[in-house]
């Protein structure tokens, strides 16, 4: 399965989202293909039509997580000429993605699961690294325009990612802060630290 | 097993650190008590002398993680009267803990593992919440003294935690940044965003 196929089939997307939720709740080893088929209203044969093995399913979840990220975050900001505005929009879009209920567990598995090995891991890590480089380049451009003070671009990139990705660990939609307050507050806190 | 016992026995500490490393590498379900006994140079009976079940072992790892945190982070900063200085020292100590090789996997399991349920989970979550309240109170005090600008104390606390805890995901000791550069850079970036 390649990354295009998961983006193109709404049915496969739903399977991956439900499988991610189960794996998040019960652990990868504690979840059987039968459990996943049941949760999707499929027979086991029906599920195997979409994914050949449980390992392939895990890879497909991570690739779907990266597809989603590239589609709703990266593709919508890459064209923004102003590097500081580009970074702010990237953070807003990424926080929004992390808070999206339907794909929340897909994102968690993408960033926390250790099981992946070999070529599949290299491919996913390569796509993650592309995001880090995009952030680093944007920080460097913002520095050279004098929009932000001089900081280490790698450190700034990972602090950015920490602020964004940690939100799925603690944010509760039924809590005191609205998603908008969370997003605006995080952006404000982070970028204020960069002002010249 | 209570939290005091794990702090008081160096032998148990070593068992928990090695078990955490194995569980991190192979997954909780993929790691047997025999694997853990082997890694510790113990017989299985010897291991069972220290922990009654694999579930109890996981709980003990998390309690040890909280013990360590309270010992090397919280206990060393709670007495600092100046709230901003208290927060800066807390971040420095917490980053140092997260980068400590011997207990790195203990910390990761404390913050990522989902398997814990019931009373054990409540107890660990209670100890984590105490840290969040300590941070929130310190931010409120720093605000009321005019040391930092007005921000949401909950949001500031979780951004603080995100900056600190995300480091174990990406920081490599053999990379370009020294631990000191990482620590100073993260503190600078975060607290500069809070200046009035």
Q: 3-state SS string over chain A?
A: CCHHHHHHCHHHHHHHHHHHHHHHHHCCCCCCHHHHHHHHCCCHHHHHHHCCCHHHHHHHHHHHHHHHHHHHCHHHCCCCCCHHHHHHHHHHHHHHHHHCHHHHHHHHHHHHCCCCCHHHHHHHHHHHHHHHHHHHHHHHHHHHCCCCCCCCHHHHHHHHHHHHHCHHHHCCCCCCCCHHHHHHHHHHHHHHCCCC
CA distance A120 to chain B (A): 17
Binary contact (B194, A190; C-beta < 8 A): no
pLDDT at residue A7 tops 60: no
Confidence of residue B2 (pLDDT cuts 50, 70, 90): very low
Instruction: Note the pLDDT of residue B43.
Output: 95
Binary contact (A158, B181; C-beta < 8 A): no
Mean pLDDT is lowest, of A140-154, A179-193, B101-115, B145-159, for: B101-115
pLDDT in tens, A91-127: 999 999 998 888 889 998 888 876 677 888 899 999 9
pTM score of the predicted model: 0.87
Instruction: Note the pLDDT of residue A3.
Output: 43
Percent of chain A exceeding pLDDT 70 equals 95
pLDDT at residue B193 tops 50: yes
Please name the residue of chain A whose CA is at the shortest distance from the CA of residue B182.
A155
Nearest CB to B27 within list A29, A192, A193: A29
d(CA B55, CA B64): 14
CA distance B152 to chain A (A): 8
**Partner A contacted by B88 (CB < 8 A):** no
- Best mutation target among B91, B128, B155, B171 (most A Cβ atoms within 10 Å) is B155
ipTM surpassing 0.90 = no
CB pairs under 8 A between A and B: 109
Assign residue A43 a region (left: φ > 0; alpha: ψ between -120 and 50; beta: otherwise). beta
Q: Which comes out higher in pLDDT, residue A184 or B173?
A: A184
Instruction: Note the pLDDT of residue A104.
Output: 87
Per-residue pLDDT averaged across B41-48, rounded? 94
d(CA B22, CA A176): 39
pLDDT in tens, B84-121: 999 999 999 999 999 888 888 998 888 887 667 788 88
In chain B, residues 105-144 whose CB comes closer than 8 Å to chain A: 111-112, 114-115
């Amino acid at each position: 399965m390649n990354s295009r196929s998961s983006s193109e089939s709404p049915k496969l997307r739903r399977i991956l989202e439900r499988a991610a939720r189960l794996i998040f709740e019960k652990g990868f080893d504690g979840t059987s293909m039968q459990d996943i088929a049941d949760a999707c209203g499929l027979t086991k044969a029906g599920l195997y039509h979409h994914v050949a093995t449980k390992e392939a399913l895990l890879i497909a979840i991570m690739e779907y997580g990266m597809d989603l990220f590239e589609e709703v975050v990266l593709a919508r900001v890459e064209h923004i000429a102003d590097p500081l505005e580009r970074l702010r929009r990237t953070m807003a879009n990424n926080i929004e993605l992390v808070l999206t209920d339907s794909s929340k567990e897909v994102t968690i598995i993408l960033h926390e699961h250790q099981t992946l090995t070999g070529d599949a891991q290299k491919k996913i890590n390569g796509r993650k690294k592309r995001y880090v480089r995009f952030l680093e380049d944007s920080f460097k451009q913002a520095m050279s325009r004098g929009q932000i003070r001089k900081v280490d671009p790698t450190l700034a990139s990972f602090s950015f990612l920490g602020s964004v990705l940690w939100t799925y660990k603690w944010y509760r939609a039924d809590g005191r802060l609205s998603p908008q307050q969370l997003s605006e507050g995080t952006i404000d806190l982070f970028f204020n630290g960069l002002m010249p």
